[in-house]
Amino acid sequence: MEPDAIPLSIRGLDYQIADRKLLSGLDLTVHTGESVAVMGPSGSGKSSLLSLALGLIKPQAGQLRVCGTDLVGLSPAQVTRLRRQHIGMVFQFGELLPELMPIENVALPALLSGKRKEPSYQQARRLLEELGVPVDGVATAELSGGERQRAAVARALMESPSLLLADEPTGALDEDSRNHVADVLFATPGQRGCGLLVVTHDRAVAARADRVLYLQHGHLVESAGKDGR
Ligand SMILES: Nc1ncnc2c1ncn2[C@@H]1O[C@H](COP(=O)(O)OP(=O)(O)OP(=O)(O)O)[C@@H](O)[C@H]1O
In degrees, rounded to 5, the angle at the alpha carbon of residue 16 between the alpha carbons of residues 10 and 18 is 160
Which parts of the chain have pLDDT scores under 70? 1-4, 94, 223-229
Domain encompassing residue 51: 8-222
CATH of the domain at 82: 3.40.50.300
229 pocket-lining for ligand 1 (C-beta < 6 Å): no
Cα 162 to Cα 69: distance, rounded to the nearest angstrom = 13
202 pocket-lining for ligand 1 (C-beta < 6 Å): no
Using the mean position of ligand 1's atoms as its centre, give its distance from the Cα of residue 94 in Å.
19
Helix H or strand E encompassing 89: strand 87-90
pLDDT reported for residue 227: 41
170 pocket-lining for ligand 1 (C-beta < 6 Å): no
Q: Residue 215 contacts by C-beta under 8 Å, 6 or more apart in sequence?
A: 38, 39, 40, 44, 45, 46, 49
Give domain status of residue 156, yes or no.
yes
Best mutation site among 48, 201, 202 for ligand 1, i.e. most ligand atoms within 8 A of its Cβ? 48
Tens of pLDDT, residue by residue over 122-165, are 999 999 998 889 998 899 999 988 899 999 999 999 999 999 99
The count of structural domains within the chain is: 1
The whole-angstrom distance between residue 143's C-alpha and the CA centroid of its chain comes to 21
Helix H or strand E encompassing 222: strand 219-222
Give domain status of residue 56, yes or no.
yes
pLDDT reported for residue 2: 53
Using the mean position of ligand 1's atoms as its centre, give its distance from the Cα of residue 39 in Å.
14
Residue 51 CA: nearest ligand 1 atom is 18
The whole-angstrom distance between residue 224's C-alpha and the CA centroid of its chain comes to 22
Give domain status of residue 2, yes or no.
no
Give domain status of residue 227, yes or no.
no
Best mutation site among 42, 51, 199 for ligand 1, i.e. most ligand atoms within 8 A of its Cβ? 42
DSSP string, 9-36: EEEEEEEEETTEEEEEEEEEEE-TT-EE
Give domain status of residue 114, yes or no.
yes
Name the β-bridge partners of 23. Answer: 15
Using the mean position of ligand 1's atoms as its centre, give its distance from the Cα of residue 138 in Å.
35
Name the β-bridge partners of 90. Answer: 166
Using the mean position of ligand 1's atoms as its centre, give its distance from the Cα of residue 45 in Å.
6
Give domain status of residue 194, yes or no.
yes
Cα 33 to Cα 16: distance, rounded to the nearest angstrom = 31
Q: Which amino acid is at 60?
A: Q
Residue 50 CA: nearest ligand 1 atom is 18
Output the residue whose Cα is nearest ligand 1's atom 31.
43
39 pocket-lining for ligand 1 (C-beta < 6 Å): no
Give domain status of residue 229, yes or no.
no
pLDDT reported for residue 89: 94
48 pocket-lining for ligand 1 (C-beta < 6 Å): yes
How many Cβ atoms from other residues are within 10 Å of residue 212's Cβ?
A: 22
Give domain status of residue 3, yes or no.
no
